[in-house]
Amino acid sequence: MRDAVRRAAERAWAEGERAPVELDRARDRASAASIARAVRDLCPDGVLDPAALTAAGALAERHAPIVARWIDELEIRGRLRARPAEGGRTELEWRCEAPSPRETADAWAEARSHRSGAALTRFFARAADHLPELLADTVQAQSLLFEDDDVTDEIYRSNEASRYTNAAAAAAVRAHLEPRTATAVWEIGGGTGATTEPVLDAVRDLDLRYHFTDVGRWFLDQALDRWAGRAGLTTGLADINDPDLASNLALPPAGGYDVALAANVLHNAADPARTLTAVARAVAEDGLLVMIETAREHLPLLVSMRFLMSPPGPGARFTDHRAATGRIFLSLPEWKDALARSGWRLDLTAPGPDPSHPAARYDQHLLVARRVAPEIGTA
């Protein structure tokens, strides 16, 4: 399997357009400028007081962890120093002036000057232009995301990191199923189907049942419209935070699924280990979990997609260690630990922790884990 995955991923990486490193740097510079500008405007007196900002309507309580993450990033970059103060406040000592509105606009203009990834850059810039409204919850990130049909395609399908990991996932599923008969795949959180398509193409000649699930019925209808009749496709609702996730699956195969596939979804679990345990209950012994996950929060995500991941109301979205940090994504070591505590053994990562790989700058990975626990308890 390892060789097949590497070959497929490297071929996908080489065949399509690749964005220059300069684009990533330009997006990072522009995002950092927008973050610094937003924090300065939110805290003109040099004190972050989330309770007062919430009372004034400038900061929705559910988005307060985003501001904390911004301050962490500004500290890392040497722009300010933060000190805890009484009453849940934070004193901010600026080490350099925040960029002016004109300087911030110029930084985004530089990012937009790159031809590659144009739709995604436009989305990041739109979100950055609306940071006060996003923080106050008067504008929703969903409205900015779906303003341009090409954005979700660039996020999940056509950029080189997604091409690499989607091709790797398809090869892993194929390699595991090919020697078997009457197999079954369960896709968790299939969403727009950016990973579904290459996987279905890779297994089109196999004896297979493919169960596509998501938390939203709209995505299920879209999947049926696109792939009805392929690989015995069925659809169903599934919520990764449902404690009875495995038992609530409609018509699971006897003995469990041969493969569970989850692309860019499991980081949304309130407790990843608990969700991974629930997934293991629905997978056959020696079956695979094929995951795609990003292991680092890039700055453009912190001004855009991060708003989609806030809890629907006050309170922590996560119950694991991320509740105290404001982070969304898990690192590769954290995923390995969560898998090991949930009846899985991590067998393969691609590209994995190799800083020399050209895809390393994206920190997006395929993870292939094998179910090893004969009986799954509770995490």
Same domain, 126 and 184: no
Model confidence, pTM: 0.91
Same domain (yes/no): 62, 197:
no
Query: Which candidate, 196, 258, 264, places its Cα nearest to that of 225?
Result: 196
Looking at 126, 148, 170, the residue that finishes a domain is 148
Q: Looking at the structure, do residues 133 and 204 belong to the same domain, yes or no?
A: no
Binned at pLDDT 50, 70 and 90, residue 378 comes out as very low
Q: What is the pLDDT of residue 193?
A: 93
Spatial separation of the C-alpha atoms in residues 368 and 370, rounded to whole Å: 7
pLDDT on residue 39: 96
Over residues 189-240, the pLDDT tens digits come to: 999 899 999 999 999 999 999 999 999 899 999 999 999 888 789 999 999 9
Beta-sheet strand order (sheet of 183-188): 234-237, 208-214, 183-188, 257-263, 283-294, 364-371, 344-350
Which residues neighbour 354 within 8 Å (Cβ) at sequence distance 6 or greater?
360
Residue that finishes a domain, picked among 95, 125, 148: 148
Of the two residues 147 and 319, the one the predictor is more confident about is: 319
| Among 348, 306, 352, 308, CA closest to 329 | 306
d(Cα 197, Cα 156) in Å, to the nearest integer? Answer: 12
Of 125, 148, 171, which marks where a domain is finished? 148
Once rounded to an integer, what is the mean pLDDT over residues 156-181?
93
Q: Are 182 and 262 members of one domain?
A: yes
Q: Are 227 and 196 in contact (CB under 8 A)?
A: yes
Among residues 197, 244, 190, which one has the least CA distance to residue 214? Answer: 190
| Residues 169 and 270 grouped into a single domain | yes
Residues 16-59: tens digit of each pLDDT: 777 789 999 999 999 999 999 999 999 999 999 999 999 999 99
The 3-state DSSP class for residue 232 equals coil
173 and 125 assigned to the same domain: no
Residue 278, SS3 per DSSP: helix
**Nearest-angstrom CA–CA distance, 189 and 28:** 29
pLDDT at residue 17 in the model: 78
Is pLDDT of 85 > 50? yes
Expressed as residue numbers, the domain containing 68 is: 21-148
pLDDT digits (tens, 9 = 90+) for 236-253: 999 999 988 887 787 677
**Same domain membership, residue 170 and residue 38:** no
- 334 in the same domain as 197: yes
Rounded average pLDDT over 301-319:
84
Give the pairing type, strands 183-188 and 257-263: parallel
The rounded mean pLDDT for the chain is: 91
**Average of per-residue pLDDT across 281-306:** 95
**Can you tell me the distance from the alpha carbon of 189 to that of 214, in angstroms, rounded to the nearest whole number?**
4
Do 190 and 224 share a domain, yes or no? yes
User: Do 127 and 185 fall within a single domain?
Assistant: no
Look up the CATH number of the domain holding residue 263.
3.40.50.150
**74 against 353, higher pLDDT:** 74
DSSP 98: P
Q: Does residue 142 sit in the same domain as residue 209? A: no
Q: Say if 264 falls within a structural domain.
A: yes
Q: Residues 1-22, buried b or exposed e (16+ Cβ, 10 A)?
A: beebbeebbbebbeeeebbeee
